[in-house]
């Protein structure tokens, strides 16, 4: 059977990582596929990496990739993708480590990948939505997706979301070494590259919740990076 790997990038997620891993594993198991959870830790000073190592020692389907320092979610995902592809992953999932994305939605993304090359957990299609956010963050997220959609001319409603399932062929086809964005921008760029390469993208409605514990990694710099780098994607991505 094809292997499904969930890549979880972490930085200071000691309060969340064990609960997330233990919640995700039975959901992946329910798909009937061979599966792994790969924690990619960027040298968290709060002990996240050590917790992940303990889980990997206890649970055979958990692996850990340690990185020396915090470089952003984009490089962390790319390192995780490379590791998982090298281990034979056929489906590669990404999601936040803070329960903003529901682990119970993982099987839906896996099953949908039978008919799509990239499945997006979408907040901005019928049936999707966001809870617990203030008006400013809602406007930034919704406005960023709309701005990217118009600028890039692609029929995707949620371009900034980070709950995804890639088929192996997509990541093998894309030139991942040339990806140059982080945060919102990374999510936009990866989906745009997938569309430009001719792959089929499917959006599934999800409900996004604000993190339960811990501090958000989103910043004004990350949001602004997405804003000013998006127009350049039309020329850089061929």
Query: What is the structure's pLDDT at 44?
Result: 96
Which CATH number covers residue 109? 3.90.550.10
Residues spanned by the domain of 228: 3-236
Q: How many separate domains does the chain show?
A: 1
CA distances from 3 to 84, 148, 197, 238 (A): 10, 32, 23, 30
In this prediction the pTM is 0.91
**pLDDT tens digits along 180-207:** 888 778 999 999 999 999 999 999 999 9
Q: Are 125 and 198 in contact (CB under 8 A)?
A: no
Query: What is the structure's pLDDT at 169?
Result: 98
Query: What is the structure's pLDDT at 215?
Result: 54
């Amino acid at each position: 059977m094809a292997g499904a790997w969930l890549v979880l990038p972490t930085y200071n997620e000691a309060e969340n990582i064990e609960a997330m891993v233990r919640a995700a594993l039975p959901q992946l198991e329910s798909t009937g596929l061979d599966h792994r959870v790969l924690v990619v830790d960027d040298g968290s000073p709060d002990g996240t990496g050590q917790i992940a190592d303990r889980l990997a020692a206890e649970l055979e389907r958990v692996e850990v990739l340690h990185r020396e320092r915090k470089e952003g979610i984009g490089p962390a995902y790319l390192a995780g993708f490379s590791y998982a592809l090298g281990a034979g992953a056929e489906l590669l999932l990404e999601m936040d480590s803070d329960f903003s994305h529901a682990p119970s939605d993982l099987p839906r993304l896996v099953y949908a990948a039978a008919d799509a090359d990239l499945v997006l957990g979408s907040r901005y299609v019928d049936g999707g939505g966001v809870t617990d956010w203030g008006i400013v963050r809602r406007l930034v997220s919704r406005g960023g997706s709309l701005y990217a959609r118009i600028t890039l001319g692609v029929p995707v409603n949620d371009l900034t979301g980070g709950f995804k399932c890639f088929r192996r062929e997509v990541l093998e086809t894309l030139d991942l070494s040339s990806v140059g964005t982080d945060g919102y921008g990374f999510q936009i760029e990866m989906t745009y590259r997938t569309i430009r390469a001719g792959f089929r993208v499917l959006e599934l409605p999800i409900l996004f919740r604000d993190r339960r514990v811990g501090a958000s990694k989103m910043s004004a710099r990350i949001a602004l990076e997405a804003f000013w780098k998006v127009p350049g994607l039309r020329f850089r991505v061929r």
